[in-house]
A and B are shown apart, each in its own frame.
Chain A
Amino acid sequence: MAVERFPVEAGHIMMFARSVGDPNPIYHDEDHAKGTEVGSIIAPPTFVQASAQHDPDYPLRPKIGKPWFGSGREPTGAVRSGSGGGGGGTGLHAEQHYVYHRPLRAGDTLTAATRLGKTWEKEGRRAGKLIFSESVTEYRDQSGELVVTATQVGVRTERPVGS
């Protein structure tokens, strides 16, 4: 993943905070935020996940005019290649780790660059062979300073899990 421009917008922060059920006014009330230690609206700890909105190639968003693998007239609208059971061929999210270098603020404009980390395999009890892969994303601000480092571990399984 590479995101060339991820504008951190106050409205987006408000909607994201609502979606995780967090009513903290630091995520939507500028007047409140002014009187706090951080001094302005900041983003919740997992907000950089929403950089997907600004990734033109993000695979889990329907693209205008392109087939989508979710249901319409049929249970699925597209055959996905490389399907591997759990995750509908996209893999499941196994781990996520963030390192915060400074609070992320409304008004920041980030870039994100991802590099692949290690991969490994494990024999699962319920889902057959598990294939894990790590990716590390650095989010930098308008001055090129590192704001958040995110490490994601994905897993592909042979069979659906949790059923």
Chain B
Amino acid sequence: MALRGSDLKPGQTYEAVVVDNLTRTQIVQYAGASGDYNPLHTDEVFATKVAGYPTVFAHGMLTMGMTGRMLTDFVGDGRLLSFGGRFTSQVWPGDTLTAHATVEDVGQQDGVSVVALTVRTVNQDGNEVFSGQATARVD
């Protein structure tokens, strides 16, 4: 299950579709699980009439959480050492997101092998919605 550092080469990529046609219900599901009930994400009337958006949009942290699934599927459970990034565009109901990891480097850190990854999640139009980095322990 876990990655072997010797098998990883800079430039190697891994990708996964992390949501196909995002529903408003999944956004509500994330609101309930995370506890972030901001009506911008869950309340069409508020989002359009008060805040001036075309509709509700996903929590940035839902995008990051879905992106995290791609990462843990790639590096294995309990292997991440760091994961971070920027929310570069909003994610809307109906969006399909593909998360990509690219191997930058495999090195040693405190005596363990660590892979450094760049992470990028794009929507169905190829627009980036999340841009970041991660590191993980490898065998």
Interface centre among A15, A49, A86, A103 (most CB of B within 10 A): A49
Question: 5 closest pairs, A vs B, by CB?
Answer: A97-B84, A70-B39, A20-B65, A52-B35, A71-B45
With A16-B33, A16-B34 known as contacts, the answer to whether A71 contacts B46 (CB < 8 A) is yes
- CB pair A19–B53 under 8 Å, yes or no, is no
- CB pair A163–B52 under 8 Å, yes or no, is yes
Q: How far is the CA of A12 from the CA of B34 in the complex (A)?
A: 9
A5 within 8 A of B: no
Q: How far is the CA of A87 from the CA of B42 in the complex (A)?
A: 13
Which residues in A have some Cβ–Cβ distance to B below 8 Å? 12, 15-16, 18-22, 24, 26, 36-38, 42, 44-46, 49-50, 52-53, 55, 58, 60-62, 69-71, 75-76, 85-88, 90, 92-100, 103, 151, 160-163
Contact of B82 among A20, A71, A92, A97 (CB under 8 A): A97
Select from chain B the residue with minimum beta-carbon distance to A88: B51
Tell me the residues in window 44-91 of chain B with beta carbons closer than 8 Å to chain A beta carbons: 45-46, 49-54, 57, 59-62, 64-66, 68-69, 71-73, 76-78, 80-87, 89-90
Please give the distance in Å from A159's CB to the nearest CB on chain B: 8
B30 CB contacts on chain A under 8 angstroms: 19-20
Select from chain B the residue with minimum beta-carbon distance to A25: B77
- CB pair B35–A53 under 8 Å, yes or no, is yes
- CB pair A160–B53 under 8 Å, yes or no, is yes
- CB pair A163–B72 under 8 Å, yes or no, is no
Number of A-B contacts (CB under 8 A): 163
Chain A binding site: helix, strand, loop or mixed by DSSP? loop
Contact of A20 among B66, B80, B87 (CB under 8 A): B66
Please give the distance in Å from B116's CB to the nearest CB on chain A: 14
Please give the distance in Å from B49's CB to the nearest CB on chain A: 4
Interface residue tally for chain B (C-beta within 8 Å):
53
B115 within 8 A of A: no
- CB pair A162–B89 under 8 Å, yes or no, is yes
Q: How far is the CA of A49 from the CA of B73 in the complex (A)?
A: 20
B83-107 near A? 1/0 per residue, CB < 8 Å: 1111101100000000000000000
Contact of B51 among A62, A151, A160 (CB under 8 A): A160
Please give the distance in Å from A91's CB to the nearest CB on chain B: 10
- CB pair A24–B50 under 8 Å, yes or no, is no
B11 CB contacts on chain A under 8 angstroms: none
- A21-B66, A49-B65, A100-B81 are known; give 7 further A-B pairs, CB within 8 A: A19-B32, A19-B62, A19-B65, A24-B72, A26-B78, A36-B1, A93-B87
Q: How far is the CA of A159 from the CA of B77 in the complex (A)?
A: 41
With A20-B65, A76-B50, A96-B64 known as contacts, the answer to whether A90 contacts B84 (CB < 8 A) is no
22 CB contacts below 8 A, A to B, read A12-B33, A16-B34, A19-B29, A19-B33, A19-B65, A20-B65, A21-B18, A21-B26, A22-B66, A22-B72, A26-B78, A37-B78, A42-B78, A44-B68, A44-B72, A45-B83, A46-B83, A71-B43, A88-B50, A98-B83, A98-B84, A151-B84
